[in-house]
Chain A
Amino acid sequence: MNENIFTNIYNKVLGFFRQTEREENAKDIACNRLRVVLMQDRTNLTPELMDRMRKELIELLSKYVEMDKEALELNLEQDGDQMALMLSIPVLRARDEEEIKAELAAEDAEKEEVLEAAEDSDDEPDENQTEAEIENEDKDESEDNKAVDIKVPDKEETSSQEEEKTKK
């Protein structure tokens, strides 16, 4: 019993100093570490796969915007009950209409070549399944470059909603 009282006082005194020294306590650290590790456990996404996803996304998005490939961030995060894939892309310059058209035309031509070579034009993969909801929001930030945040709810694979926020 005596020991209990002393450890109690000790914990309280220690707790007092800890709280003043740094904001994060053992409990918060545990919660945060667990959230991150559980997200990795639940998705089965290895670092290699994440890297591959990153590369493929850069390839895809480069057609539409010119971006800072090095600064692109792709992270799994907890968003309330849902797991979210957070993608942050610093945009260096928006491509103009003609550029985008030219890129897409070049890609289409490439695809056709591939299809002709394979002589199998029946099942062309439909790449435009996802309907992207684009929202433009004004943000006052001192940074010069623009960034795109895309949030993809993890659970809905087929009808993934994409929220795009562009900074002006």
Chain B
Amino acid sequence: MQSCIIPETSALSEQDKKGETMNGRVIVITSGKGGVGKTTTNANIGTALARAGKKVVMIDTDLGLRNLDLLLGLENRIVYTIVDVVEERCKLKQALVKDKKNPNLCLLAAAQTRDKTAVTEEQLKNICEELKKDFDFILVDCPAGIEQGFQNAVAGASEAIVVTTPEMSAVRDADRIIGLLESKEEIKSYKLLINRVRPNLIKSNDMMSVEDVVEILSAKLIGIIPEDTGIITSTNKGEPIVNDEKSLAGKAYNNVARRIIGEDVPFLNLEDDTSLVAKVKKFFSGLMGKEN
């Protein structure tokens, strides 16, 4: 009697599980301009989300110029790419490369030997739909530019993170991208991530501040990442900086991940000057009895 009932209930609960995990969020990380830190952002947010216990898959859509694998240190593990999936040389699950440290984290790599036309918008949409069933987050790494590569990357997404830096050309390109995102019905929301912020330059009025950029683009902010030399070493090691507890940029990326999950995390105070000059100044102003 019992043996008859058990398979039935287990089958039911399996269906329930499927129903539960059906609503993975597809977030495209884009910027327009190259070199502002899209891929770094992708690797770090993905790793941070996985560390928070979420199931995450990252899709590199930069066909011909793939780099996400390098930042994650997975370049030697790639067997199949997204093009192999699309051209049915392998199943989607076979092409997912698991992260070395975190089993919650997967990568679907771009093909290095093909160009942007090897995958269509429709195919990417289908891949995203398929992955939604098994993952909490699907992060799509978008190539620079506003051509087909961008259109492909955006096709399956319903949310977007626009990466920019406080530089004129990056802000201008971000504005263009925001305009394009607003014209896409599928994109329900987009948020701004300001990368490579240099508090010293902002203080001396030599660089646009975070507030300036937010005001000019009139977009909602999801993160402020300080310029951090640690990014270079972390890239060289193939290990995202969020794994480094001491790094300020790592902390900032971790906060972005928490905000994505829905937590209310205040923005890091980058104005806190820890340089010697500031300390001496503070010491003297303390002696003089001035309050800053």
Determine if A25 and B179 form an interchain contact, defined as CB atoms under 8 angstroms apart: no
Determine if A15 and B275 form an interchain contact, defined as CB atoms under 8 angstroms apart: no
- The size bracket of the interface on B is 20 to 34
A11 adjacent to chain B (CB < 8 Å): yes
A129 adjacent to chain B (CB < 8 Å): no
Residues of A within 8 A of B69 (CB): none
Residues of B within 8 A of A4 (CB): 275
Query: B169: nearest residue on chain A (CB-CB)?
Result: A34
Which positions 12-69 of chain A face chain B at CB distance < 8 Å?
Answer: 12, 15, 19, 25-28, 30-31, 33-35, 37-38, 41-42
Determine if B216 and A35 form an interchain contact, defined as CB atoms under 8 angstroms apart: yes
Determine if A5 and B275 form an interchain contact, defined as CB atoms under 8 angstroms apart: yes
Determine if A8 and B202 form an interchain contact, defined as CB atoms under 8 angstroms apart: no
B172 adjacent to chain A (CB < 8 Å): yes
B175 adjacent to chain A (CB < 8 Å): yes
Give the distance in Å from the alpha carbon of A26 to the alpha carbon of B208 in the complex: 8
Give the distance in Å from the alpha carbon of A8 to the alpha carbon of B168 in the complex: 23
Query: B167: nearest residue on chain A (CB-CB)?
Result: A30
Residues of B within 8 A of A25 (CB): 205-206
Determine if A41 and B176 form an interchain contact, defined as CB atoms under 8 angstroms apart: yes
Give the distance in Å from the alpha carbon of A36 to the alpha carbon of B172 in the complex: 11
Residues of B within 8 A of A26 (CB): 205-207
Residues of B within 8 A of A19 (CB): 205
Interface residues of B (CB under 8 A from A): 168, 171-172, 175-176, 179, 200-202, 204-209, 212, 216, 218, 275-277
Additional pairs, 6, CB under 8 Å, beyond known A12-B204, A41-B175, A42-B179: A19-B205, A25-B206, A27-B212, A31-B208, A34-B171, A41-B176
